[in-house]
C-alpha cells in the first residue's frame, strides 16, 4: 500500500458472533490490527512490530446480525478507518514497514465476507476492462476468487492475479 490507497471489505456479521478481527500485514509486522469483542460497542485498534503495542479504542465497527462495509485508507501518518463510507477513527502509524503491506487477513468464523477490494492511488496499467463494483449492501455478490469473498471470514485474502490487486 502507498499513501492514498484504500482497502475495503464488505460482509455480514453473524447473529451469534463473539470476536471479530482484521489485520493489515507485512512480512514482519502487523501495522494495523482491528478487534471488536461482541457485543461491546467499541473497537480495539493496535499494531504489532514484533510485540503488541498499546491498544487504542474507538467506536464499534460491527453490529450483530448486520451487514458492514469497512474501509482503511493509508494517509501520511494515520490509517483512516471508515464504516459505511463515514470516517470514524484515525489510528496512528506506529510501525516501520507500514508501506509494504502484503496481505489483508480476517480472523473469525463469525462473519461472512462478500468481497475485498483495493483502490490504488497509482493503479497499474492493464488491458483488461475494469470489473463492475461489487454490491455495497452486504448481501452477497462476491466472485469467490482473487480476494473477492463469498466465503466465511477465516483466513487471509489476496488477489490471485496481479492485474486484480488494484482496481479503479
Pick the CATH number of 6-164 from 3.10.20.30, 3.40.50.460, 2.60.120.200, 3.40.50.300: 2.60.120.200
Query: What average pLDDT does the structure give for the chain?
Result: 78
Secondary structure E strands in 38-162: 42-48, 56-59, 67-74, 78-83, 86-92, 103-119, 151-157
Mean pLDDT lowest for which of 30-34, 39-43, 146-150?
Answer: 146-150
Average pLDDT over residues 35-62: 93
Could you tell me the residue ranges of all domains in the chain?
A: 6-164
Per-residue DSSP letter, 9: E
Dig out the grid coordinates for 135 from the structure: 454490491
Q: Is the pLDDT of residue 21 over 70?
A: yes
- Nearest-angstrom CA–CA distance, 140 and 105: 19
Average pLDDT over residues 18-45: 91
Q: Kindly report the pTM of this predicted structure.
A: 0.74
Average pLDDT over residues 17-41: 91
Per-residue DSSP letter, 130: P
Task: Name the residue with higher pLDDT: 111 or 22.
Answer: 22
Amino acid at each position: 500500500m502507498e499513501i492514498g490507497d484504500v482497502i475495503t471489505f464488505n460482509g455480514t456479521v453473524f447473529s451469534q458472533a463473539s470476536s471479530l478481527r482484521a489485520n493489515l500485514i507485512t512480512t514482519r509486522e502487523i501495522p494495523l490490527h482491528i478487534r471488536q469483542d461482541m457485543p461491546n460497542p467499541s473497537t480495539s485498534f493496535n499494531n504489532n512490530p514484533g510485540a503488541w503495542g498499546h491498544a487504542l479504542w474507538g467506536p464499534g465497527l460491527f453490529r450483530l446480525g448486520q451487514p458492514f462495509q469497512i474501509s482503511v485508507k493509508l494517509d501520511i501518518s494515520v490509517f483512516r478507518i471508515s464504516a459505511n463510507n463515514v470516517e470514524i477513527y484515525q489510528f496512528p502509524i506506529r510501525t516501520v514497514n507500514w508501506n509494504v503491506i502484503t496481505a489483508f487477513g480476517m480472523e473469525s468464523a463469525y462473519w461472512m465476507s462478500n468481497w475485498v477490494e483495493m483502490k490504488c492511488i497509482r493503479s497499474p496499467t492493464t488491458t483488461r476492462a475494469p470489473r463492475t463494483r461489487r454490491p455495497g449492501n452486504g448481501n452477497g455478490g462476491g466472485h469467490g476468487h482473487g480476494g473477492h469473498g463469498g466465503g466465511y471470514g477465516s483466513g487471509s485474502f489476496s488477489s490471485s492475479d496481479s492485474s486484480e490487486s488494484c482496481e479503479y
